Structure 1
Amino acid sequence: MTVSKPWVRIGDETRSHAQIDVEARRAAAGFRAMGVGEGDVVAVLMRNSFEFIAATLAAGLVGAYVVPVNWHNTPEEVRYVLDNCGARAVVAHADLLRRARAAMPPGVRVIAAPTPALIREDYSVGEAEAAVPEGVEVWADFVAAHDELQPPFAVSPGSMIYTSGTTGNPKGVRRLPPTPEQTEASGEMLRIVGGLEGWQDRMTDAVFLIPGPAYHSSPNGWLFGVYGMGGNLVVEPRFRAERVLARIAESRITHALMVPTMFVRLLALDEATKRRHDVSSLVSVNHVGAPCPPHVKRAMIDWFGPVITEHYGSTELGAVTYCTAQEWLAHPGTVGRALPGCEIEIHDPDGAPLPPGESGEIVARRVCYPDFTYHGDDSKRRSTGRAGGLLAPGDMGHLDEDGFLYLSGRASDMIIFGGTNVYPAEIEAEIHKLPGVADCAVFGIPDETYGEVVCAHVQPGPGATLTEAGLKDALKATLASYKIPRRVVFETSLPREDTGKIFKRKIRAPYWEALDRAI
C-alpha cells in the first residue's frame, strides 16, 4: 500500500504524517481531559516508535513539556527523573513499564502500549512481557476514547531532556516556550547542520534517517524538527549496522544523523556486505555526541564520500559549530567553526579570554535560542553562566587562527598529574589508532606521588591480542611519557550510551570510592 507523503517508516510499517497527527490530536484531547496543560510534564518511557512520536506531539499540542526517559535507567534512576520533573502522566512500552512499575510516583496516570514486534525482536522481549499489564490503561484505548483536539493549539515548549548523568544525577534542561522568531532561527540552524539548505521547497523529497534513541537531545530535536518541516523519516528502534545500510539503499536515504560508534560498527562489516548496499543517495551524514577518532572519520569519508559532516554543541546550547568534510580534511580533528548567530571563546581559569592556540574552558552563546534553567535547580544553571550571556558546557579545547574549534575533553575528566593538566581525549585518540583496539576510556586514578596518573580501560577488537607492555610501547612515539597510561585494563566491553558516550563514572568509581572526592 502506498502511503502519502510525508511519511514515517519504522521497521516494515509506514504511516503518513496525517495518520500520526490524528493519533496525536486524539491523545492531546485525552491529556487535556485529565487536566494536563501549559507548563505541565508528560513523561515518555519508550523506545523509538510511532507511539513515542504521537505521545510527544500530543503533549506539545496542550503546551506540556515532554520528558523522554532514558529507558536504560534502573528503576531507581527512573524514579528520580519522574519525581524530579513532576510528571502528570507517563506513557510507556509494556516491557519497560513492567521493569520500572515500582518507580511510578503515587497519583501519576500511567498509560502503556504493547511493545512493538521489531522492538521485541531487537531486545529479545517475550510476548508475555510485551503485553500491557493487567489493570494498566492501554494507549490505543486512551486514544480511541477521545475526539481530536481542535485548534488553536498551545505553543509547544518542546522536550525537557535530562542530561545523561555520567557525572551524577541527570539534570532536566527546561526551556522557555519559543517565540516565532526563535522557532524560525532553530529551523534555520537545523537546515544548515542537517544539510537541508535549499530543500525548503522539496522537503517531501528528503528522507531522513534517525538510528539513535530519541531520549537524547540531538535525535529528539532532529526527529521532531524534520517532522515539523514535512520531511520523510526512517526511524530505527535500535542501531543494527547491516540493517541501517539496507535502509539507506531501500528507502534512498538522503540525510542521516549518527554518532561515531555507529561509524565504527559500519566499518567493521565485511567488504562484501558494504558493497551490496548502495549509499549513493546520501547527501549529508552528520555526526555528534562523542569525539570521532580521525582514522574512523577518514575511512567513512573514503566510503560514503564527502557527505560526512559534524556539529558540536550540548543539550543546553544546541548546535554551535558545524564542519563539512572538506573543512575537516583541511583541519583534521576540528569540530568546525561557529554557526551563524553563535559566539565561541576560550577562557582561562579566571574567566579571561585566551588567544588562538591556547587550551582552556570552552564558552559559547547562541543568539535567538530560548533560555533555559535546570528544572528545580536554578543554582546549577547560574554556575554554568559566564559574563556576556556565555555558557560553559563543561568542555575544554582551543581555537586556531581560522576560528576552527578543537576539543581536548571534558573539564570534569581532566587529569591533574603533578600539577600538569592532561586531557583524556588526546590519549584516547592515539589509542584508537592502534591496531586491534575497538574502544577505550581514559581517566585519572589516585596516586600518592603525583595526585593522579593516567589509566586506560581498553576493549580489543574481535580476535585481537593486546598486551599492556605492547600498548604502552606503541604510544611512546606519539605521547609524552606522563601521558602514557600507568595502568591498562583490558575489557570485553565498555559501558556505553547509545550516543557513543562511555559511562566513565561507572568505570572510574571503584578507584576513588575509598577517597573523599567527587567522581
Structure 2
Amino acid sequence: MPSQIVFAGQALSETSFLSGVKKIASVLVANGVRPDDAIAILMRNEPMYLQIIEACRYVGARYVALNWHGSAAEIAHILEDSKAKVLLGHRDLLNVLSEHTVFREQIAGIAVLAQATPRSIIERYELGTVTEEGGYQNLHAAIEAAEEIASAPQKVRGLFAYTSGSTGRPKGIVRPSHPDAPDRYMMYQMLAQGFMFLQPGDKFYMAAPMYHSAPNTLSLSALSATDVDIYIESQFDPEDFLKIVEREKITHAYIVPTMMIRLLKLPQEVREQYDVCSLRYSVSTGSPCPVDVKQAMIDWFGPIFYESYGASELGFMTLISATEALEKPGSVGRAREGTAIKILNDELQELGPGETGTIYIHSMLASGFGYTNSEGDLTDQELGGFATVGDVGYLDDEGFLFISDRKKEMIISGGANIFPSEIEAEILRLPQVLDCAVFGAPDEEFGEKIVAAVQLQDGQVLSLGELQHALEGQLARFKMPRKLDVHEALPREDSGKIFKKRLKDPYWEGAGRQI
C-alpha cells in the first residue's frame, strides 16, 4: 500500500485510503456484485479511481475502465458486452451521456452511482456548474453509510480491457479465471520491482488517463509497492509537471512522447527555472518515441528514460533503457524476464536475426486470453503458447526488437488505439461521400494523426470542418479525422480493396519511421 496518495494538493493517507476501499467494496456487494462479475468506471484521474479498483480486489470482481472521450453508443456497447453490474462515474460525464437515448436504454438494467466531480477537475476542464441529474445513486452518500467489508482481499481479476477488433467493434479481453490462473496482484508487485524499480520512499507521478491499459497497470503496480507515494493529476500540464517534480521531489513518472514534445516546447527560460534532478525513472509505452525527441529529453533530464513495447492482451513485453536506446536507435528493447519473442514468416517458420516477419510473444504473466464478441477464432493469433497482435518487425543479433510495420491498420494517436474501419463506416454514411479510406499519418505531437481520404459524389463539396461536424455524436473526439484529402478516385485493387499504401506513403516519406 502507498504511504499516501496526493491529488489537487490534498493527501489521502494509507489508513483513509484503505477504509474507503473497504466501504466501496460493501457498496458494490450491496448492488449485487459478486466474484467474477464486472463493474464499469467512467471517471477522470483521481484517488477514487484507485479506491474503486482496489475494492474490486475485496469482492473478486473485474473492472472495465471506460474511455470518457467515447461516444454514448460506444460506451453503451461496452456496458452491454461486458455485462457490467454497476457503473460508477463522475457526475458531469454521466450528465452528458444521459442526453443520449442509447445510453439511457442501456443503463436501465444496471446500478449507476454518481460521484461528485472534484472541484479541481471542474476548474481545469472549465465545466461550469455541474447539476445533479438522472436520478442516480449518490456514491459519496453510499460510501458514508456503508460499513467496511469484513472479507479479506481475493485473487485479483484485474482490468477487463477493451480493444478494437477486426471490424472496429470494441471487444473485451478475457483472462482465465480458473483456480490455477495467476493472481494479477503478484504481477503488479513484480512490475513494481522489476520494471519500475520502485523502492520505499519513492514518489510516482501519473497524469495519463487511467482508462488506458499502461497507465492503469503502472498505477496499480505503484499501489502494490511498499511505502511509495502516488501523485495523481487529472490532466498533463508541462510546466505544472516541472513544478511538482521540483516541489515534491518526484522520482518516477509515466511520460509518453506527446508529453515529452509539450515539455520540449516550453521556452528555455521556463525549463531552466526548475530543478528536476530528483527524477530518476520515466517510462513510455504506446506510440514509438522519435529518436530526436528522446535525445533532447536525455540532454535535459539525463539518461532516465525507458521505453516498452506492449499490448493490452500481452502486457509489457520489452524494456529498453536510455543508454541502450542511444546505442540501438529505433529499438524498443529486449524481451523482459518471463517473456520470449519469435519472428515468424507467413508460413509460420521462425526467422533469424535481421529478417522481418510477424512478432509473436510468449508472456508468463499474461498468457492465455480470449475475446468477447469475437468473430472467428484465434488460430492466426496464437501458436504454441506464443501470440501476436499483428505487428511486424525483426530481432537483431543481440535480441533487440525493432518494429517496422503493422499488419493491422490500427492507428496509434496520443497512445490511443484507433481502428480505421469504424471511422470509415461513419464517413460512408454521409450523402456527399462515394468512397472513403482512413489511415494514420505522422504527427509531431501525437505520433499519428487521422487522415480521411474521400471520393465525393458528383457535384458535392466537403470541408474538414463540415466532416467533423457531421461526425459529432457518432465518434469520440480522439477518433475525429484531423486532415481531409479529396480525390477524384481512390486507388483500388482488382478485388476491390483500397491500396491504402499508395495513400499513406507520401505522408511517411522522410518521416524516418513507418509507424
Find the counterpart in structure 2 of residue 296 from structure 1.
293
The CA distance in 1 between the partners of 2:332 and 2:97, in whole Å, is 38
Using structure 2 for the length normalisation, give the TM-score.
Answer: 0.78
Residue among 349, 360, 371 paired with 1:363: 360
Q: Which deviates further from its counterpart, 298-307 or 504-513? A: 504-513
Q: Which deviates further from its counterpart, 61-70 or 352-361? A: 352-361
Q: Structure 2 stretches of 5 or more lacking a match?
A: 422-435, 446-462, 472-476, 501-515
- When the two structures are aligned, how many residues end up with a matched partner? 443
Residue among 198, 213, 217 paired with 2:213: 217
The CA distance in 2 between the partners of 1:390 and 1:32, in whole Å, is 37
The CA distance in 1 between the partners of 2:205 and 2:132, in whole Å, is 29
Instruction: Name the aligned partner's letter for residue 265 of structure 1.
Output: R
- Contact 1:260–1:292, Cα closer than 8 Å, also in 2: yes
Instruction: Name the aligned partner's letter for residue 117 of structure 1.
Output: R
Matches within 5 A, 1:67-216: 67-101=64-98, 102=101, 103-104=103-104, 105=106, 106-127=108-129, 130-133=130-133, 135-163=135-163, 168-177=168-177, 179=181, 183-196=185-198, 199=199, 202=200, 205-216=201-212
The CA distance in 1 between the partners of 2:293 and 2:167, in whole Å, is 27
Residue among 316, 319, 325 paired with 1:328: 325
- Contact 2:283–2:308, Cα closer than 8 Å, also in 1: yes
Q: Which SS does the other structure have where 1:39 is aligned?
A: coil
The CA distance in 1 between the partners of 2:156 and 2:194, in whole Å, is 23
TM-superposed deviation, 1:100: 1.2
Q: Which SS does the other structure have where 1:276 is aligned?
A: coil
Distance 1:331 1:19, change over 3 A: same
- Contact 2:395–2:402, Cα closer than 8 Å, also in 1: yes
Find the counterpart in structure 2 of residue 278 from structure 1.
275
Distance 1:272 1:164, change over 3 A: farther
1:56-101 Cα deviation digits (max 9, x unpaired)? 2222311111001000001111111111111111001011101112
Residue among 12, 15, 26 paired with 1:18: 15
Greater fraction helix: 1
The CA distance in 2 between the partners of 1:60 and 1:254, in whole Å, is 28
1:283-303 Cα deviation digits (max 9, x unpaired)? 111111111111001101111
Q: Does 2:409 align with 1:413?
A: yes
- Contact 1:174–1:372, Cα closer than 8 Å, also in 2: yes
- Contact 2:182–2:365, Cα closer than 8 Å, also in 1: no
TM-superposed deviation, 1:164: 5.8
Q: Which SS does the other structure have where 1:88 is aligned?
A: strand
TM-superposed deviation, 1:123: 1.6
Q: Which deviates further from its counterpart, 101-110 or 366-375? A: 366-375
- Contact 1:132–1:138, Cα closer than 8 Å, also in 2: no
1:432-463 Cα deviation digits (max 9, x unpaired)? xxxxxxxxx9x99xxxxxxx9998856689xx
Matches within 5 A, 1:249-398: 249-369=246-366, 371-377=368-374, 379=376, 381-386=378-383, 388-398=384-394
The CA distance in 1 between the partners of 2:315 and 2:62, in whole Å, is 17
Find the counterpart in structure 1 of residue 432 from structure 2.
none
TM-superposed deviation, 1:189: 3.4
The Cα RMSD (Å) is 3.5
The CA distance in 1 between the partners of 2:225 and 2:148, in whole Å, is 22
The CA distance in 2 between the partners of 1:510 and 1:248, in whole Å, is 46
TM-superposed deviation, 1:12: 1.5
Residue among 55, 58, 65 paired with 2:55: 58
1:119-177 Cα deviation digits (max 9, x unpaired)? 112222112xx243252211111111210001233322011111267971222122235
Q: Which SS does the other structure have where 1:132 is aligned?
A: coil
Matches within 5 A, 1:447-486: 457=441
Instruction: Name the aligned partner's letter for residue 260 of structure 2.
Output: F
1:180-208 Cα deviation digits (max 9, x unpaired)? 67643552234222133xx2xx2xx1101
Aligned-residue sequence identity (percent) comes to: 30
- Contact 1:334–1:407, Cα closer than 8 Å, also in 2: yes
The CA distance in 1 between the partners of 2:286 and 2:123, in whole Å, is 26
Instruction: Name the aligned partner's letter for residue 160 of structure 1.
Output: F
- Contact 1:166–1:503, Cα closer than 8 Å, also in 2: no
Find the counterpart in structure 1 of residue 428 from structure 2.
none
- Contact 2:155–2:185, Cα closer than 8 Å, also in 1: no
- Contact 1:51–1:113, Cα closer than 8 Å, also in 2: no
1:329-355 Cα deviation digits (max 9, x unpaired)? 111111000111111011111211111
Q: Which SS does the other structure have where 1:286 is aligned?
A: strand
The CA distance in 2 between the partners of 1:86 and 1:135, in whole Å, is 21
TM-superposed deviation, 1:14: 1.4
1:209-245 Cα deviation digits (max 9, x unpaired)? 1110000111101111211213210111111111111
- Contact 2:156–2:185, Cα closer than 8 Å, also in 1: no
Instruction: Name the aligned partner's letter for residue 142 of structure 2.
Output: F
Q: Does 2:231 align with 1:229?
A: no
1:385-414 Cα deviation digits (max 9, x unpaired)? 12x210102211111111100111321239
The CA distance in 2 between the partners of 1:338 and 1:191, in whole Å, is 16
Q: Which has the higher contact order (CA 8 A, sep 6+)?
A: 2
Distance 1:506 1:395, change over 3 A: farther
The CA distance in 1 between the partners of 2:464 and 2:273, in whole Å, is 34
Find the counterpart in structure 2 of residue 6 from structure 1.
3
Q: Which deviates further from its counterpart, 167-176 or 96-105? A: 167-176
Q: Which SS does the other structure have where 1:44 is aligned?
A: strand
The CA distance in 2 between the partners of 1:54 and 1:98, in whole Å, is 23
Q: Structure 1 stretches of 5 or more lacking a match?
A: 415-423, 429-440, 445-451, 462-488, 496-500
TM-superposed deviation, 1:258: 1.8
Instruction: Name the aligned partner's letter for residue 46 of structure 1.
Output: M
Q: Does 2:399 align with 1:403?
A: yes
